[in-house]
Structures are given as structure tokens and as C-alpha cells.
Amino acid sequence: MKLRIPYELRFLAPFCLLTVLVVWNGIFDDSYNLKEAEAQAKKLPESAGTYWNVVLLFFAGTCFYRFIDAWQLARDRKITQVDLYFVTVLSGFALLQYASSYSLFNAFVNPEGNAILISRMTALKDWSVLPVFGWVVAWSRHVRRGWMPGLNWTVCIVASLSFFACVIHRFSFYFLLGVGLTLSCIALYETYKVHFYRSQVGVLFYVLLFLHVFFFVTRLLDFVTDDFGWLWTYMFMTSFALIVAFANKLYVRILIEVNEHKY
């Protein structure tokens, strides 16, 4: 019997594996060198971190919940297997972001001894966020125009390869993030223009626009200032989790209404 590998796994596995291997090779170590000021501002006592670890695990758990919910919807023929694929890939990219954030947070219990780990987990956290917003763009295109697998690969390859600009300077990431967030907002607007009359689409669209701006501002503040310790991290990770959740809800809600007339 021939083993059939799910399409979403064939998509996710190479991207996640390549990202981890390249970052772990140390190619971004010079750009992501840990600063002494950052190490002191974010250093954690050994007893700290339990609350935020629980929050990150909760964020990760919501990814599995969305997959199970989408699988149930696909089984009930309310969405298609292709729609399930889009939910799974978005959740997979988000899980990589949460895993790197979890490792990074706990490494700051001993920043001096974990300097290399912190540098590489920070690079992994930055790299893994770009395909998430690329996927929001690809999913929007799917909702509006239909299945285009070549576009899905192209968007994520471009998002991943562009991160190599950070070899030159770490600030390149924030330029790339700004471009990615702008394209994501445009894609959401294009979806909104077509489906604005559907239930809750307008509310979700404007909430997502606000969260995109909030995410970029707090992520940038976390880079340029160390005065508030982990505050900006808490804020941008929470907004990221909400972006993933609401983008998933927006697209799935539209797809359920579109697909209900097919059967």
C-alpha cells in the first residue's frame, strides 16, 4: 500500500525544516548578537515565567483547536479539504512562532550562558513570522480566485528567502515585516471588498487592520528600546495570536457561506 503524505505536511515540513536548519547553522549570529543591555533588561529569575509560559502554551493549543474544528467542518462538508489545508498551514506556521518564543523566553533565565541560543531563537522567531503574513495573502487569493498552488509556494518562498537580507543588518527584518504587513492588509481589504455583506466580515476586517498596526508598532518598540523589559513582547505576541485567530475566523466564515450552496 502506497503511503500518502498529506499535502499540508508536504508544504509545511520543508519550510519549517529549512528555517530551523539554516538558523541553527549560525548564519545570522552576527546580526542577532545579544546586547548586554538587552540581557540585563530581560533577565528572568528562575521562578519567573510560569504565567507567560502558560499563555504561550494556550496560544499553541488554539492552533490545534482550530485544526480540529476545521477538520470537523470538512468532514461535515461545510468546507473543503483544500480549505482545511489552508487552516492547517497557517496553524503550523503559528506553532513555529510560539515554539521559538517559548524557547527564547526560558533562555533568558541565564542570558549569559544561553547567548548563542538566544541569538538563534530570536532569528528563528523573526524568520518564522514572515510566512504567516504571506499565507494571509495567499489565503485571500484563494478565497477570491480559487485554488492556485503555485502562488502558495511562491509567496512563502519569497517570504523565507527575503529574510537573508538580515545577514547584512538586523533592521532589514523590520523593513520586510512592514512590507509583509502592508501586503497582508491589502489582501484583507481585497477580501473585504468582495465579501463585505457577509456576517461579521466588516468587524473582523477592521479589527485585523488595527491588530496589524499594533503588532508592528509594539514589535518595533521591542527592538529599539529595552526600558520596559518584556512588556512589548507580551503585547506583540498577544496581538500576533489574535491576528492568526481572527484571520482564520474571517476566511473560514466566508468559506462556510460560499460552500453551503455547493452540496
CATH no. for residue 165?
1.20.1070
> Domain range for residue 193?
7-28+35-259
Write out the three cell numbers for 61: 493549543
Whether the pTM exceeds 0.75: the reply is yes
Confidence (pLDDT) at 175: 92
**Distance separating alpha carbons of residues 197 and 174, to the nearest angstrom:** 34
User: What's the CA gap between 254 and 199, in Å, rounded?
Assistant: 8
In a domain, 50, yes or no: yes
Task: Assess if residue 244 is contained within a domain.
Answer: yes
Task: Examine residue 1 and state whether it is found in any structural domain, yes or no.
Answer: no
List the pLDDT tens digit at each of the 263 positions of the chain: 344 556 666 667 677 777 777 777 778 878 888 777 676 777 777 666 678 888 999 999 999 999 999 999 988 888 888 888 889 889 988 998 999 888 888 888 777 787 888 888 888 888 889 889 999 999 998 888 877 778 888 888 888 888 888 888 888 889 999 999 999 999 999 999 988 888 888 999 999 999 999 999 999 998 888 777 788 889 999 999 999 999 999 999 998 888 775 55
Domain count, the chain: 1
Instruction: Answer whether residue 93 is part of any domain.
Output: yes
pLDDT of residue 190: 93
Burial class (CB in 10 A: 0-12, 13-18, 19+), 78: middle
How buried is residue 20: exposed, middle or buried, by Cβ count under 10 Å (0-12/13-18/19+)? middle
Burial class of residue 30, CB neighbours in 10 A (0-12, 13-18, 19+):
exposed
pLDDT computed for residue 1 by the predictor: 39
Q: Is 247 a domain residue?
A: yes
For residues 29 and 120, what is the distance between their CA atoms, to the nearest angstrom?
7
Grid coordinates representing 126?
523573526
Residue 153 near residue 134, CB atoms below 8 Å: no
Contact in structure between 24 and 120 (CB atoms under 8 Å): yes
Coil, strand or helix: which one is 112? coil
- In a domain? residue 196: yes
**What pLDDT, on the 0 to 100 scale, is given for residue 142?**
86
Q: What count of other Cβ atoms lies within 10 Å of the Cβ of residue 58? A: 11
Is 86 within the bounds of a domain?
Answer: yes
pLDDT of residue 4: 53
- The confidence score (pLDDT) of residue 69 equals 93
Q: In whole angstroms, what is the distance from residue 136 CA to residue 247 CA?
A: 7
Residue 2 lies in a domain: no
How far is the C-alpha of 178 from the C-alpha of 94, rounded, in Å?
Answer: 18
Residue with cell 509556494: 153
- The HSE-up count of residue 142 (CA atoms within 13 Å, CB side) is 25
What pLDDT score does 2 carry?
44
Q: What is the model's pLDDT at position 133?
A: 93
pLDDT of residue 117: 84
